[in-house]
Amino acid sequence: MMCGVTGWIDWETDLRNEEATLRAMTGTLACRGPDDSGVLLSRHAALGHRRLAVIAPDDGAQPMGTTSGDGPRTVLTYNGELYNYPELRRELRALGHEFRTRSDTEVVLRAHLQWGADAPRRFNGIFAYALWDDRRQELLLVRDHLGVKPLYWHPHASGVLFGSEPKAVLAHPLFHAELDAEGIAELFALPAAPTAGHGVFRGLYEVLPGQTVTVRRGATRTALYWRPTARAHPDDPATTRETVRALLADTVERQLLSDVPLCTLLSGGVDSSAVTALAAAARERAGHSKVTSFSVDFPGSAERAPDAWRTSADAPFVQAAAEHIGTLHTSVLIPDDDLLDARDAVLRARDRPGWGEMDASLHLLFREVRRRSTVALSGEAADEIFGGYPYFHDPAALAADTFPWLHGRTTPAALLRPEVAAEVRPEEYTAEQYRRSLDGVPRLEGEEGADHRIREIFHLALTRWLPPLLERVDRVSMSVGLEVRVPFCDHRLVDYVANVPWAVKTPGGRSKGLLRDAVRDLLPPQVADRPKSGYPSTPAVRYTEVLTARAHELLADSQAPVFDLVDRETVRRALAEGRPLPSPRTAPNPVGGLDHLVQVDEWLRAYRVRLR
């Protein structure tokens, strides 16, 4: 079940008297769980839950716990889906466990009772949850292998607050919306790929992918239960293709598990088309109806000139894929005015400045999808694990002593006021985060030079580039009560592909050639061989005009909070000369920097963010 979880642990307060506060925290997550809500209060633990029922809709109310004569002993508040829960359920039954529900939530709970902290190693799925052990007075926070589902936490003097989204923590009176030098650096120096685990707000952290956080009175411990490992790849190219196909097919079939309507997101690229084709084949084998698929488009998109990130319009490839696979397809057309109307919704969904009109269009797409489906399968993450982005193939970017996507780029940090930049030190901050990221690269004995560098780039793509993309999809989809599943984030597939040599991933120098060849028989040739083309940005003229007018209003407003951070004259000169402002996104977009400026101001106002 895709849900929202939150809670408050406090060893110096009797939380049985704090129901109003817990319900306020839980209420902020209503969009993540429109079907049900629940709270549990004990002396030192208060747990909240909002539910979007996907599996066993009539079962699995939460928080869910085991009980003894004196009340709950172990309590779980859980957000996610376990795709291998039927196998785990059978295994746990054989070990003597009895089940009261058909939900995967109870499987997670009983897996922890059986295997303790080793339980997540056995899970195949996407999840983020909190487990409170009343006997040991211990809280365990857990996040899935790739970090598909979010989980934030804030340590305070006598305990911890946590939630699926920052808004749940912000609803507690102990936490304040504050931005310090690190948060400013994250927003302006590293907006395309922020630091994993950094919650932007001062004192807010995110549980890392594959990580557990254990909180006891006076002690907090973090540990990784999973990360990709470096090892020699034993398979020849033919076996590698067969293994990739088998793993992806198994993953897609597992992720079709649902008791509510399900669809796919189809962009006409090889990634989403492969997922859609495998889903259609699995449904046909099971005797089910055709797959429903959705895509997004904009007026005038076919006339846009191609660039390195956006090589072609989606529509012709979407049509070819949908007809070849045989889906029931809908293209969602999004006009300018709708994008403008969605701006506030996406800011509230993300709790931080995001990617402007790209977030707005995604929100509108997901809103339309949700009218007919509760679950959608996506092709997200294939480029990170198979090497599809331009920076994987740019010698200069590969050789740069920084994140490859930042090579040759100017970030919004160039707009900071001189005194702010002196405190934030954006260039030093970026360099330090780059060094720290490389410290985590797994090493294979004897691997060096270009081979090790490409392993570094894949590591950076997985740990820095992918997390904000997954966050964006989760937050925007859950803002309309839609669950998005990402088969390419199956940790078995990621771990296998991570060790495939670059020459095997790109046979004949073809970008993502391994994936293309593994699924070629499922797709029309023009789709199987289509070059990488990123998520579309709209050619919206009116959107740009309205944002430009808004920026001029900010320049005329002596109290505009964004200019506590950004140099007013630098922005004024750029607008007067018709120059685009530095964008937070790597993909070319002339309105991206303007969008970021206006949205930072909107965020500072709406969230009443204090600068430290």
Please state the three-class secondary structure of 187-215 as a single string.
HHCCCCCCCCCECCCCCCEECCCCEEEEE
Residues facing 333 on adjacent strands: 297
Q: What pLDDT sits at residue 569?
A: 98
User: How far is the C-alpha of 149 from the C-alpha of 296, rounded, in Å?
Assistant: 24
Q: How confident is the model at residue 498 (pLDDT cuts 50, 70, 90)?
A: very high
Q: pLDDT tens for residues 528-538?
A: 999 988 777 67
DSSP 239-304: HHHHHHHHHHHHHHHHTT--SS-EEEE--SSHHHHHHHHHHHHHHHHTTPPPPEEEEEE-TTGGGS
Helix (H/G/I), strand (E/B), else coil: 587 = coil
Mean pLDDT across 559-569: 98
Strands across the sheet with 138-143, in order? Answer: 64-68, 71-82, 125-133, 138-143, 211-216, 219-224
Residue 69: pLDDT over 60: no
Q: How confident is the model at residue 310 (pLDDT cuts 50, 70, 90)?
A: low
Residue 55: pLDDT over 80: no
User: Which residues, 6 or more positions from 305, have their beta carbon under 8 angstroms from its beta carbon?
Assistant: none
Residue 305: pLDDT over 90: no
Closest of 325, 330, 337 to residue 541, by C-alpha: 337
63: cis peptide before it, omega within 30°? yes
Residue 589: pLDDT over 80: no
User: Which residues, 6 or more positions from 105, have their beta carbon under 8 angstroms from its beta carbon?
Assistant: 1, 60, 62, 64, 76, 78
Q: How confident is the model at residue 71 (pLDDT cuts 50, 70, 90)?
A: very low
Strands 610-611 and 178-179: parallel
Q: How confident is the model at residue 539 (pLDDT cuts 50, 70, 90)?
A: low
Task: Output the six-digit token pair for 516.
Answer: 């293309």
Residue 472: CA atoms inside 13 Å, Cβ hemisphere, count? Answer: 24
Q: What pLDDT sits at residue 58?
A: 62
Q: What pLDDT sits at residue 302?
A: 67
Alpha-carbon separation of residue 514 from 495, 523, 571 (angstroms)? 15, 15, 45
Which amino acid is it at 525?
Answer: P
**Cβ-contact 332, 318 below 8 angstroms:** no
Q: What pLDDT sits at residue 203?
A: 98
What mean pLDDT is reported for the chain?
93
Q: Helices (H), strands (E): how many in the chain?
A: 24, 19
Residue 62: pLDDT over 50: yes
Closest of 285, 221, 220, 279 to residue 250, by C-alpha: 279
Q: pLDDT tens for residues 349-362?
A: 999 999 999 999 99
| Percentages of the chain per state (helix, strand, coil), in multiples of 5 | 45, 20, 35
- Positions annotated as catalytic residues are 3
- Domains in the chain, start-ordered, CATH in brackets? 2-224 (3.60.20.10), 237-528 (3.40.50.620), 541-611 (no CATH)
Task: Output the six-digit token pair for 591.
Answer: 């309105």
Type and span of the H or E element at 76:
strand 71-82
Three-state secondary structure along 328-370? Answer: EEEEEECCHHHHHHCHHHHHHHHCCCCCCHHHHHHHHHHHHHH
Q: pLDDT tens for residues 89-128?
A: 999 999 999 999 989 999 999 999 999 999 999 999 999 9
Mean pLDDT across 157-181: 97
Residue 1: pLDDT over 80: no
Task: Give the residue with greater pLDDT, 589 vs 572.
Answer: 572
Mean pLDDT across 471-498: 97
Q: What pLDDT sits at residue 231?
A: 95
Closest of 399, 377, 370, 366 to residue 327, by C-alpha: 377
φ, ψ of residue 133 to 5 degrees: the values are -105, 105
Closest of 32, 65, 64 to residue 51, by C-alpha: 32
Strands 71-82 and 610-611: unpaired
Mean pLDDT across 129-134: 96
Which residue has tokens 């931005």?
179
Helix (H/G/I), strand (E/B), else coil: 307 = coil
Type and span of the H or E element at 75:
strand 71-82
User: Which residues, 6 or more positions from 212, have their beta carbon under 8 angstroms from its beta carbon?
Assistant: 117, 120, 140, 141, 142, 143, 222, 223, 224, 225
Q: What pLDDT sits at residue 530?
A: 94
Compute the CA torsion angle 175, 463, 295, 280 (nearest 10 deg): -120
User: Which residues, 6 or more positions from 476, have their beta carbon under 8 angstroms from its beta carbon?
Assistant: 346, 349, 350, 359, 362, 363, 366
